[in-house]
Amino acid sequence: MKKDQGFDTRAVHAGQDFDPTTGAVIPPLYLTSTFVQKSVGDLRGGYEYTRAGNPTRDALEQQLAALEGGRFGMSFSSGLAAEDALLRAVLKPGDHVVLGNDVYGGTHRLINRVHGAWGVTNTVVDMSNLFEVEKALKKGSTKILWVETPSNPMMKISDIAELSDIGRQAGAIIVVDNTFASPALQRPLSLGADVVVHSTTKYLGGHSDVLGGALVLNDEELAEKVRFVQFAAGAVSGPMDAWLTSRGIKTLAVRMERHSSNAQALAEYLMGNPAVEQVYYPGLPDSPGHELARQQMSAFGGMVSIAMRGGAKAARRFAESTRVFLLAESLGGVESLVNYPAEMTHASVRGTVLEVPDNIVRLSVGIESVEDLIADVDAALAKSPKRSK
């Protein structure tokens, strides 16, 4: 794989060499837990046991590293498993994490409740307020600055380059959850981040048929620590999951183009609908993160959130009334999904600083015909009350 190849070429070919024995264009799926040794400790191709390494997972890990432009890629059984491995590799009791006030709810839960129980503390801040971030960083104890942009579900954009500078000065490593943008639209390592995190369940897998997570980073010492946790704690992706994810990644670039153009058209339509109070999409010129998003992203992605004028009741009604948009958690698949965060994806952060207003609906805009998506949303909005009582 040549370093200077374009992104779309890397997505198709990195780690995906044809099988040299049969010529099969697609590398085989190695559904095996263990590998026969020639003599004790004499391995064929370095493989001994699938938790330690498997050719199908290796192929995916090369693909992930190539997409993010990093040296080391690691694949896990879920996004949260990837996050957990990173946190365990970096943190010890007494350490501190600074994270955004609308990071993925599960990330906050993992840091606050699972790692919190082991003596890790955290401060939640508005990542778009650099002054507040600086204040929250504690030199010596803050080991991680956790950034998610665009954020979920309010689509806030934060400045990866600036935050990387500020975090590094305080001695923290900068972690960017790049799930919403995907590497097709945004490459945090090139903007100064140390580690990129993905829920590959979303855009990378892209077909809502597999769970997975990934870490990509450049520092060799940190990579060794994370590899050790991956092996020793064992939350690896199985070969079938890795294979499906690799297959999804090959079409990432073209999918993201369609997700972005469909989302842009839908966001513009929603702006003019009287049932909608506000549209959150960085591709709208008046959105607060628009200029920054233009600088650090190559397109604006497929996620759109709206605030309903009719309040919680209208939001629920709308989410339950679409037909093409399926009512389901998750995002990033080819099919459009609608989600009511207050009671679905973000129910776990109710009553915390991460709580999502109850009139918000989040749309994961798929790659279907855009006229069908607009007609579907239009019909569903017509059914929801225009005013809250």
Report CA-CA distances (Å) from 312 to 304, 309, 389: 18, 9, 10
Element housing 257 (H / E): helix 252-271
* DSSP bridge partners of 145: 98, 174
Residue 250 near residue 12, CB atoms below 8 Å = yes
Contact set for ligand PLP, span 327-366 (CB under 6 A)? none
* Residue 59 Cβ vs ligand PLP, minimum distance, rounded to whole Å: 20
d(CA 247, CA 334): 14
- Contact region with ligand PLP (CB under 6 A), list: 172-180, 231-239, 251-259, 276-284: 172-180
One of 35, 72, 104, 203 touching ligand PLP (CB under 6 A) = 104
We find the least distance from the C-beta atom of residue 84 to ligand PLP, in angstroms, to be: 9
* The Cα angle at residue 264 between residues 258 and 270, in degrees rounded to 5: 135
Work out how close the CB of 98 gets to ligand PLP at its nearest, in angstroms, rounded to a whole number: 17
Count the residues of the shown chain that bind ligand PLP, applying the rule CB under 6 A.
Answer: 16
Q: Considering the rule CB under 6 A, would residue 213 count as an interface residue with ligand PLP?
A: yes
| Per-residue contact flags (x/-) with ligand PLP for residues 174 to 193, judged by CB under 6 A | ---x-xx-------------
Of 24-32, 76-84, 222-230, 374-382, the window that binds ligand PLP (rule: CB under 6 A) is 76-84
| Single residue of 63, 78, 112, 321 touching ligand PLP by CB under 6 A | 78
Helix, strand or coil, per DSSP, at residue 126 = coil
Place of tokens 């099919």: 335
- Looking at residue 140, what DSSP letter applies? T
Residue 75 engages ligand PLP in binding (rule: CB under 6 A): no
Q: What are phi and psi of 45, to 5 degrees?
A: 70, 15
Burial (CB < 10 A; 0-12, 13-18, 19+), residue 264, is: buried
Asked if 152 touches ligand PLP (CB under 6 A), the answer is yes
Residue 301 interacts with ligand PLP (CB under 6 A)?
no
Active site residues: 51, 104, 177, 202
Which residues bind to ligand PLP, rule: CB under 6 A?
78-80, 104, 106-107, 148, 152, 177, 179-180, 199, 201-202, 211, 213
